[in-house]
Structure formats: C-alpha cells, structure tokens
Amino acid sequence: MTVRRLYRLNTAEWTFDHSVAMQLEDPGEPYTGWCPCYLLEHPEGLVLFDTGISREMAADPESYGPNGAAHMTAFLETLDLSVGQSPTDHLAALGYEPGDVDYVVLSHLHVDHAGNVDAFPEAEIVVQKPELRYAFWPDGVQRLFYLEGDFSPLRDESVDVTAVTGEYDLFGDGSVVAFPTPGHTPGHQSLAVELESSAVVLAADVANSRGGYERERVPSFSWSLEDSLESIQRVRDRARATDATVIVHHDPEEQKKLPDPPAALE
C-alpha cells in the first residue's frame, strides 16, 4: 500500500538572521522560513509529521510549561502566526478531529516542530530515543530551542510514546519510513513517503533551505556539523535510490512544491 494524500500545513513564518539559518552566509540579512507540519492519509491510519509552533507558547511564553519559557519573548518579535493555522485548525478544515490522528512522528523536539503535541493525546508518538533523552538536558545554545511545555506531556503515562532507534517503518509496507538524520540535533529524523504517483523525502531540518542543502551550509546552531553533513548525504542517497523529491522544511520555495490545502499531493 501507499500513502493516498500528503498535505502541507503551515503553522507560521519565523524570521532569523540569514547567517543563523545558513552557516556564515549573508550575515545581517533576514531569512524568513515557514514552520509547516504534514498530514499523511494512509489506508491504515492518519499520520502527522511534526506539530509546528504552539500558539499557547506564543501568547504567554513566561507561563508556558512547568518552568516557563521567558527567553522566547525576544524571538517571538519576528514570529508571524497570521500566515498559518494551528494543526488542529488545519485538520478541522480537512474534516478531521485531533482524535482521528493515529500517529504523530516528530522529526525532533525543537520549539518550531514539537509545539501542540498535547493536542493529540490519543495518537502514538514516534520519536528517536536519543532525541527524547537529549531534550530534557540539552547543551549550550540548544537549550534555547527545547521547551518543556512542548514535550513534557510525553512523560505522562497515558501517552503512547514509541522511542525508536534507527529506521522505523510505520505500517510495515515501506510507505512511511522514519530514518535517522542526526546533526541538527542528536535524534533528528526525516520521513520517506511513498505515494501512488511519486516518492517524497520530508527532510525536516537537515538544512534550512535548498541552498543550504545543496551547498552543505547547515544552521549555525546545529548540534554536530559532521553528523549534519553525513545526514545530508544520507538524504541524497535515499532520494536517488527511490527517485524521490526532497522537501527542505523551512524554505518557502520548497514548500510551494506541495499544493496549498485543501489540495494534496497524491
């Protein structure tokens, strides 16, 4: 079986210095990236890849999560929520409720990818075990991007968390396969998707733009430069082997390769 439809659901735009998004390129110039998540319709279940930015956090960062996230206040000045919707609002527009989502696959647990996890309490959460462990005690600048308010719900015993190591074939048919691409974070993973008419690799944050992907210029705050470059090559190898289109997560032009909802890639 294959995935019937792939929807791109944007949650926001976030503007950073270009040299942050792509190591040492165009310092002082702005780079505005999308913050999407993706909905996959498979005959055996509904899959959400990432969950975008929490609007609850954006509204009151100081009160977000068990210890707050006051440091996010300065970053929120360049966050534009008006161009996107929450994942649950996107789902409602497509005729779904949060309880209809069977799986949430998280590329990693940074703030722009793992907000709103608590909106899907009935879903099985699939995350790499190294990522889950690192999120609770990150190093250096990485501490800025891991918010307890995003991922602390995963500690609840009622939440079904599958902490994987290595590749994970969600349905056992090769149509939705999460595979490790560490570097941006220790447990970063990308998603290979087989549709009826094409194959896609949702690369997530192996790079922040097509130019960064092609020139191997990863974000300046990446956890490991060496692992990041190896993961870019891993994505390239997989795309070549499966004749897949690679979608780089934050690049607006990349995201426009996918149709605006309610249209979908089939």
Q: Is the pLDDT score of 132 beyond 90? A: yes
Mean pLDDT along residues 32-41: 97
- Structural domain includes residue 261: no
Report d(CA 156, CA 121) in Å as an integer: 10
- Structural domain includes residue 214: yes
- Structural domain includes residue 262: no
pLDDT-derived band at 88, boundaries 50, 70, 90: very high
Report d(CA 75, CA 78) in Å as an integer: 6
What does the pLDDT read at residue 23? 85
Structure confidence by residue, pLDDT tens digits, 182-198: 999 999 999 999 999 99
- Structural domain includes residue 266: no
Mean pLDDT along residues 37-52: 98
Mean pLDDT along residues 241-246: 97
The domain total for the chain is 1
Beta carbons of 210 and 200 less than 8 angstroms apart: no
pLDDT-derived band at 21, boundaries 50, 70, 90: confident
Beta carbons of 69 and 149 less than 8 angstroms apart: yes
What does the pLDDT read at residue 32? 96
- Structural domain includes residue 37: yes
- Structural domain includes residue 107: yes
Q: What is the pTM of this model?
A: 0.96
Structural domain containing residue 217: 5-256
Q: Is the pLDDT score of 24 beyond 90? A: no
Report d(CA 126, CA 144) in Å as an integer: 23
- Structural domain includes residue 265: no
